[in-house]
Amino acid sequence: MRFGVNLCIWDAPFRTSEHLQLFETVANFGGQVIEIVVEDDAEIDSTVIRREIDNNGLSLAVIGIIDATVDLSSTDISVRIAGVEKLKYYVNLCDELGSDLLSVTLGFVGGKHLLEGDARDTRIKYVADCLCATGDLARSAGVRIAYEVLNRYETNLINTASQATELIRIVDHPYVGVHLDCFHMALEEDDQGDAIRAVGDKLYHLHANASHRGVPGRGLNDWQSIGQSLRDVHYSDYIVFESFNRHSWLGPAGHIWRPLSDSPYKLAQEGLEFLQKVLS
């Protein structure tokens, strides 16, 4: 396993010229993975980022934003086609950056109405078709796609590990799997360890976040259970701590209204130290 942090702990959107120095900071904290979010207004210099990743011995994970204009579950085929093109853009960007992991999800897209029966089945199939259509490109680029499971307040489509495995069974592509997040699991799952075991070898990415998005170990998560479940499924991929700076646009979006630590640097360092101690 390789441990790391999401740079949204410091700021968002990501801008190469402003945030490149954080790569060395994370490496000095003992991190092995950097995760960046590629918003539409992010500023990405692939050559510079790839050089900095290599210079610091880091791996890179990328989160791609799928909004309503490219909703993979849309009933409008033109929107789904745009969604597939967006996925392909992210896969190609990962290839340029030297990243082998792309996380995507449908956050704040599905609406706030009840979605069940044939209507839900159709939307799930649309998402599966879009992911499958991107799978071969991902394979050729050596980039695995992980669909992130979000809580009920962020999507009405897929909220649990079992629902995610339903989606991935339909996709049926070796380069498409599941991204679980301990923050979201704390809201939706009966048992986080059982959720991880349910996904099994299709778990491609893990956000090891506290139940309150502060320092892991100080919230309500059962980290011993989480660690045991990761060992049970022989998980050996990235474990990333994600949190948000309340002064960035993600603060209000993530409902971060209070300080989570004395500084982003302390939050990242203490989070990394805890996760490496408990989950290694």
Nearest to 61 by CA among 30, 106, 23: 23
Model confidence pLDDT, tens digit, residues 156-192: 999 999 999 999 999 999 999 999 999 999 999 999 9
Is a pLDDT exceeding 90 seen at residue 120?
Answer: yes
* Structural fold of domain 2-279: TIM Barrel (3.20.20)
Q: Which residue has the tokens 């991929």?
A: 237
Is a pLDDT exceeding 90 seen at residue 112?
Answer: no
Q: What is the pLDDT of residue 204?
A: 98
CB 149, CB 164: distance < 8 Å: yes
- Pair of tokens at residue 245: 């700076």
pLDDT interval class at 217 (50, 70, 90): very high
Q: Is 21 exposed, middle or buried (0-12, 13-18, 19+ CB in 10 A)?
A: exposed
Is a pLDDT exceeding 90 seen at residue 152?
Answer: yes
pLDDT interval class at 110 (50, 70, 90): low
Average pLDDT over residues 96-104: 98
CB 150, CB 107: distance < 8 Å: yes
Q: What is the pLDDT of residue 19?
A: 98
Q: What is the pLDDT of residue 178?
A: 98
CB 207, CB 241: distance < 8 Å: yes
How far apart CA 41 and CA 147 sit, in angstroms, is: 22
Specify which residues 148 forms β-bridges with: 179
Average pLDDT over residues 104-130: 90
Segment 70-77 long-range contacts (CB within 8 Å, at least 24 positions apart): 71/106, 71/109, 72/106, 72/126, 72/127, 72/130, 72/131, 73/106, 73/109, 73/110, 73/123, 73/124, 73/126, 73/127, 73/157, 74/126, 75/122, 75/123, 75/126
How far apart CA 81 and CA 102 sit, in angstroms, is: 19
Average pLDDT, the chain: 97
% of the chain beyond a pLDDT of 90? 97
Average pLDDT over residues 231-256: 96
- Cis upstream peptide for 174 (omega within 30°): no
Model confidence pLDDT, tens digit, residues 5-41: 999 999 999 999 999 999 999 999 999 999 999 999 9
- Pair of tokens at residue 262: 């004395």
CB 167, CB 136: distance < 8 Å: no
Nearest to 143 by CA among 60, 83, 224, 81: 60
The whole-angstrom distance between residue 231's C-alpha and the CA centroid of its chain comes to 20
